[in-house]
Amino acid sequence: DAGVIQSPRHEVTEMGQEVTLRCKPISGHNSLFWYRQTMMRGLELLIYFNNNVPIDDSGMPEDRFSAKMPNASFSTLKIQPSEPRDSAVYFCASSSPGRGGLQETQYFGPGTRLLVL
Amino acid sequence: AQSVTQPDIHITVSEGASLELRCNYSYGATPYLFWYVQSPGQGLQLLLKYFSGDTLVQGIKGFEAEFKRSQSSFNLRKPSVHWSDAAEYFCAVGGPAAGNKLTFGGGTRVLVKP
């Protein structure tokens, strides 16, 4: 399996521009997670989906951030408008149901390094 | 609420020496515990996990971890460190009581001296 795929790997944009990050989970996984990693705040869960439905978006910083999962093999995280403080590495992870339908190990993608100037 | 504390931000160890990384967690039920490793510029790779059963868990790359419920700890160990083990290590806790969300510790950066 190719693992979790994220694109782009790097993104440099100017403040105010729209940024779209993309994620393809591992085939057969039914949960998808978006994380943000910064030096100051470490790894933060932004949102996660189960069977394409958003379950918990309490980590989404503000209305400028939105995430969608139109089908089981694709998700996007959009920032509009972007700000310098959004600069971070954004990770996507996916997991599959384990025993009793409970989610097990999360597998991470390589991340998208975002720089907002 | 669940939380994870990794008390050591940085650890420097000589190649060939043993390594132990500390992890303490807070969780309201039986936890699922994980250790991930992140090399520079890379994503997180799972080293090992504990769900239930034997409290000593073996992982990849020669790592092991021991779950101690009485101490709320899940420390990671390796008997002999290789230069390629230089990376950042993250402990995480989750489980059904948390809606399967993972909470990560702040990470421990390991430097390996030749």
Query: Along the 114 residues of chain B, how does pLDDT read in single tens digits?
Result: 789 999 999 999 999 999 999 999 998 888 889 999 999 888 899 999 998 888 999 999 999 999 999 999 999 999 999 999 999 999 999 877 776 688 999 999 999 999
Q: What is the pLDDT of residues A26-46, one digit of tens each?
A: 998 989 999 999 988 889 999
Tell me which residue of B94, B89, B91 sits closest to B51, measured CA to CA: B94
For B77-107, the pLDDT digits (tens) are 999 999 999 999 999 998 777 766 889 999 9
A42 chain-B contacts, CB cut-off 8 A: 104-107
Minimal Cα distance from A48: which residue of B?
B101
Q: Which residue of B has its CA nearest to A33?
A: B101
Give how far B36 is from chain A: nearest CA, Å. 10
Q: What is the pLDDT of residue A116?
A: 97
| B109 interface with A at CB cutoff 8 Å | no
Integer-rounded Cα radius of gyration of chain A = 14
Chain A stretch 49-78, residues whose beta carbon is closer than 8 A to a beta carbon of chain B: 55-56
Read out DSSP for B36-71?
Answer: EEE-TT--EEEEEEE-SS-SEEE-GGG-EEEEEGGG
Q: How far is A68 from chain B (nearest CA, A)?
A: 18
pLDDT of residue B58: 96
Task: Name the region of B107 (left: φ>0; alpha: ψ -120 to 50; beta: rest).
Answer: left
Q: Which residues from chain A sit within 8 angstroms of residue B31, using beta carbons?
A: none
Q: Does A43 touch chain B (CB under 8 A)?
A: yes
Chain A CB contacts of B100 under 8 Å are 31, 95, 102-103
Nearest CA in chain B to A31: B100
